[in-house]
Amino acid sequence: MIQLIKGFKDILPGEVEIWQQIEKITVSLLEDFGFKEIRIPIMEHTELFARSIGEDTDIVEKEMYTFRDRSGDLVTLRPEATASICRAYIQHKLFAKEPVQKLFTIGPMFRCEKPQKGRYRQFYQINAEIFGVASPLVDVELIVLLTTLFSRLSVSDIKAHINSLGCPECRPGFKAALTDFLASRTENLCSNCARRKDRNPLRVLDCKVPGCREEMAESPSLMDYLCPECLQDFESVKTNLEALNIPFVVDKRLVRGLDYYNRTTFEIQTGSLGAQNAVAGGGRYDGLVKELGGPDMPATGFAIGFDRLAEIVRLNIPEYVKTPDIFLAVLGKQNQSLVFEWKCALGIKGVKAEMDFSGRSLKSQMKRADKMKAKHVLIVGDNEIKEGSAILRNMVTKEQVSIPINGIVENVVAKL
Ligand SMILES: [Zn+2]
Ligand SMILES: [Zn+2]
């Protein structure tokens, strides 16, 4: 038997309803905040990701699904969405029509990571990006949007972790201090960090290897190196979060592993899955649009890990499956087509109706209706048709009423 690829997964009925529910709530909230959907391809030229994410990142070095297509072009299954959205923003000159664009997309990403519980090689993200606004207020807006979303999804114990990554003016000073700090500690770092520490010392702060994390506890903080503009910008983020009663902590280790981030960076963490876990992350990436050949346009955005979010939401709200409004129990094969007509007519009227096509006994059909958690059962056999009225049973109250077969669809709808 052919099995699915390691690290990939099916989302089966029973679980998919949670995904649909999350999508519905998310899209409606994003639209209320002025975002429009954009749908981008899942495959791009490899160069797009190499340039935007950075050559010496784990993602580009060893996690991307990259291959030559039949014409020999080097292509990659997208490991994240921001680069593609930027590419589309530039390619279609969306900025020329209206520089401020608020865009979102929902879909699969691909990273060939070591498979582990709850981590997939095809994983899903909800991405939102705002182009054309330099004000830190829109960073706050993104955090408000995320905390609102999680509260609507009953995800509890939410906290925003924020940091500033500075700007090209002030980051070099911090990098130099960090490089000095790391120089004496090379032997305690993992091999990746030891290799990258001179070219890109910020990556060491981001490393998940426990030894590196321990080593970095005493590291210098970017906060102490921010230029006056970056500092003022970060103060504004904090003041506005406070004004909106959004709980947050300043987290100096929060440096995103991608080259193009600057100033405000954030993560939303929840204690829902036991240990503190990030369910969303994002921040400002003012340099990326220009880096990819577009105009000098500020930008900020976030990504939500859909798989993990679905896992948390499932724990909170286990019952998302829509059960049938009515089950049509039909006795005698000769009556099936008539009842089938009713079933179709009910479906067209927006009533979720199910029926049995096997001609089994009333008892076994009632059992099936019960298993499906149908709210009502309509019982129809030769006798009912002869007498011109069917029996409608409320499966919760067990009450039974007789309803005329003449105009039955309307009669049933009126009783539900
Ligand atoms: Zn600065
Ligand atoms: Zn490391």
> Which residues surround the ion ligand 2 when the cut-off is CB under 5 Å?
190, 193, 207, 209, 212
Residue 259 pLDDT level (bands cut at 50, 70, 90): low
Nearest bound ligand to CA 209? 2
Give, to the nearest 10 degrees, the angle between helix 16-32 and helix 306-316.
110
CA of 335 to the centre of ligand 2 (A): 71
**Res 329: pLDDT:** 95
**Res 3: pLDDT:** 96
- Tell me the average pLDDT across 188-208: 81
Q: What is the mean pLDDT of the chain?
A: 91
**Res 5: pLDDT:** 92
pLDDT tens column, 211-224: 888 888 888 888 89
Nearest bound ligand to CA 211? 2
**Res 206: pLDDT:** 75
CA of 302 to the centre of ligand 1 (A): 21
- Tell me the average pLDDT across 151-176: 90
CA of 232 to the centre of ligand 1 (A): 10
Residue 353 pLDDT level (bands cut at 50, 70, 90): very high
CATH code for the structural domain at 16-170+226-316 = 3.30.930.10
Nearest bound ligand to CA 203? 2
Alpha carbon distance 56, 192 (integer Å): 10
- Tell me the average pLDDT across 148-157: 90
Whether 160 shows a pLDDT value over 90: the answer reads yes
Answer with the residue of higher pLDDT: 235 or 260.
235
CB burial string 254-266: b at 16+ within 10 A, e below:
bbbbbbbbbbbbb
Alpha carbon distance 79, 60 (integer Å): 9
Structural domain spans, the chain: 16-170+226-316, 326-415
Percent of the chain with pLDDT strictly greater than 70: 97
CA of 168 to the centre of ligand 1 (A): 6
CB 268 within 8 A of CB 247: no
pLDDT tens column, 27-54: 999 999 999 999 999 999 999 998 888 7
- Tell me the average pLDDT across 376-401: 93
- Tell me the average pLDDT across 148-152: 93
Nearest bound ligand to CA 168? 1
Whether 409 shows a pLDDT value over 70: the answer reads yes
Percent of the chain with pLDDT strictly greater than 90: 67
Whether 163 shows a pLDDT value over 70: the answer reads yes
Question: Which phi and psi (to 5°) does residue 406 adopt?
Answer: -65, 115
- Tell me the average pLDDT across 360-366: 93
- Tell me the average pLDDT across 129-155: 95
Whether 317 shows a pLDDT value over 80: the answer reads no
- Topology of the domain comprising 326-415: Rossmann fold (3.40.50)
- Tell me the average pLDDT across 285-311: 94
**Res 107: pLDDT:** 97
- Tell me the average pLDDT across 98-118: 91
Whether 257 shows a pLDDT value over 60: the answer reads no
CA of 204 to the centre of ligand 1 (A): 21
**Res 258: pLDDT:** 60
**Res 204: pLDDT:** 84
Q: List C-alpha distances in Å: 339 to 134, 374, 385.
A: 62, 17, 11
- Tell me the average pLDDT across 115-132: 91
H or E segment and range at residue 315 = helix 306-316
Structure token digits, residue 114: 């070591």
Alpha carbon distance 282, 208 (integer Å): 18
